[in-house]
């Protein structure tokens, strides 16, 4: 494909409820939807999957827009792109800025798949027709409130429950949930809230049969995690620390984790995600697809990727109604019995609803050079 034009749809979206992690609370955010238009007039869509603050990682919506406009779009526009798998390499001259890179790389996967009259899943050899879904629950005011939330989501059919934790909201919270629900698939996500000083404290989670603890230590660490993993029976999963297949290789070599959360944005796109998936598969490391409170565009990409065979653990791809009063894709993403049926349409498999997009739109700009 050759990109003739890129439209940046700057939106402001509001979550149906605030979402609290160890690094802060999210409610409103600007998101930039990236639409690439090819020589035949077909559109492909991606999103920045950012928030307005650099608390999860170093990027924000504004930095991704800046990188897209100054460096990434100029490198890609009007160039012949034989396959979307080439885009990651074409953008390697820019260090990091993975959320920005993924926004346009995924849009190119979408337009390329549409041109081939295939879904992205078909294009990448994804075999699953349905994917299992988990629910990520923000930090609640007390364990009893959390238990009621978990009940609601278990009743709704979610196949995995992920509880956000931080010092002061951890052991009691997990103990309360486990006591009430002895058999659910349960995990915790600390978003880097602990350090090696907390080894004895974190060991208190071991009796609760968590399928994993996600990113307990520093956002940029793979050394201390290896030490912690030797001390814990609970498997460690890395999220923030993994930006590439090279990081993955090193984490596996060091024994820093037993599971990896793959987020398309954090690793700079779908092709790098696939390389990580494949390397983990070859090394018996399970993977699952995380989420970044994306709109339907980002989550549609997540669904397509999750069709690959080594995504054996339910992801964080909850249905549209769990995030937004109204999502911008049509049909909205729905779940039945904890399952999302992978759409069979071309590209991401969902359409962008122009009416709904207009309601959250702040401004639009078209880039042609
Ligand atoms: O660490 O997985 C995370 C949301 C924003 C930033 C980081 C994370 C999350 C989530 C929510 O856990 C996942 C989702 O429902 O999209
Ligand atoms: Mg996480």
pLDDT, one tens digit per residue, over 146-172 is: 999 999 999 999 999 999 999 999 999
d(CA 366, CA 363): 10
Residue 107 pLDDT: 98
84 within ligand 1 shell (Cβ under 6 A): no
Class of the CATH-defined domain 3-116+353-367: alpha beta
Two tokens at 187? 């995990």
- How many A from CA of 293 to the centre of ligand 1? 6
Residues whose Cβ atom is located within 5 A of ion ligand 2: 189, 214, 239
* CATH architecture observed for domain 122-351: Alpha-Beta Barrel (3.20)
Task: Write down the domain spans for the chain.
Answer: 3-116+353-367, 122-351
Is 39:29 a contact under the CB 8 Å cutoff? no
d(CA 285, CA 252): 8
d(CA 54, CA 80): 34
d(CA 83, CA 241): 28
Report the chain's mean pLDDT, rounded to a whole number.
98
Residue 256 pLDDT: 98
Residue 351 pLDDT: 98
Residue 359 pLDDT: 98
Residue 35 pLDDT: 98
Query: pTM higher than 0.95 for the full model?
Result: yes
Residue 50 pLDDT: 97
pLDDT (tens digit, 9 = 90+) per residue, 87-128? 999 999 999 999 999 999 999 999 999 999 999 999 999 999
pLDDT (tens digit, 9 = 90+) per residue, 78-89? 999 999 999 999
Q: Which helix (H) or strand (E) segment is 20 a member of?
A: strand 3-21
For residue 286, name the pLDDT band (cuts at 50, 70, 90). Answer: very high
**Is 189 labeled as ligand-binding?**
yes
pLDDT (tens digit, 9 = 90+) per residue, 198-221? 999 999 999 999 999 999 999 999
Residue 111 pLDDT: 98
* Catalytically active residues, by annotation: 164, 263
242 within ligand 1 shell (Cβ under 6 A): no
d(CA 128, CA 339): 11
pLDDT (tens digit, 9 = 90+) per residue, 242-264? 999 999 999 999 999 999 999 99
- How many A from CA of 152 to the centre of ligand 2? 22
Q: In the predicted model, what is the mean pLDDT of residues 342-367?
A: 98
């Amino acid at each position: 494909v050759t990109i003739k034009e890129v439209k940046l749809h700057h939106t402001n979206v509001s979550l149906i409820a605030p979402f609290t992690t160890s690094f802060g609370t999210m409610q409103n955010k600007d998101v930039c939807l990236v639409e690439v238009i090819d020589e035949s007039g077909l559109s492909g869509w991606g999103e920045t999957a950012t928030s307005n603050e650099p608390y999860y990682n170093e990027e924000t919506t504004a930095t991704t827009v800046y990188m897209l406009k100054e460096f990434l779009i100029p490198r890609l526009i009007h160039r012949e792109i034989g396959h979307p798998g080439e885009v990651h390499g074409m953008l390697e001259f820019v260090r990091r800025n993975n959320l920005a890179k993924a926004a346009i790389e995924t849009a190119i996967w979408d337009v390329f798949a549409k041109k081939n009259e295939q879904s992205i899943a078909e294009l990448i050899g994804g075999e699953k027709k349905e994917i299992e879904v988990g629910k990520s629950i923000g930090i609640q005011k007390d364990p009893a409130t959390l238990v009621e939330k978990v009940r609601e989501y278990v009743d709704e059919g979610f196949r995995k429950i992920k509880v956000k934790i931080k010092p002061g909201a951890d052991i009691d919270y997990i103990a309360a949930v486990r006591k009430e629900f002895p058999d659910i698939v349960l995990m915790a996500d600390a978003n880097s809230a602990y350090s090696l000083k907390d080894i004895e404290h974190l060991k208190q989670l071991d009796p609760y049969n968590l399928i994993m603890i996600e990113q307990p230590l520093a956002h940029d660490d793979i050394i201390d995690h290896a030490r912690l993993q030797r001390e814990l029976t609970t498997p460690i999963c890395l999220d923030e620390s993994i930006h590439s297949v090279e990081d993955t290789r090193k984490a596996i070599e060091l024994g820093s984790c037993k599971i990896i959360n793959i987020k398309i944005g954090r690793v700079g796109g779908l092709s790098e995600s696939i390389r990580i998936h494949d390397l983990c598969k070859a090394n018996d490391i399970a993977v699952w697809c995380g989420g970044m409170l994306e709109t339907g565009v980002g989550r549609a990409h997540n669904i397509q990727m999750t069709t690959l065979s080594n995504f054996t653990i339910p992801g964080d791809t909850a249905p549209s109604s769990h995030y937004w009063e109204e999502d911008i894709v049509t049909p909205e993403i729905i779940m039945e019995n904890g399952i999302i049926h992978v759409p069979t349409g071309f590209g991401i498999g969902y359409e962008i609803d122009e009416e709904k997009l207009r309601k959250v739109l702040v401004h639009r700009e078209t880039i042609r050079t």
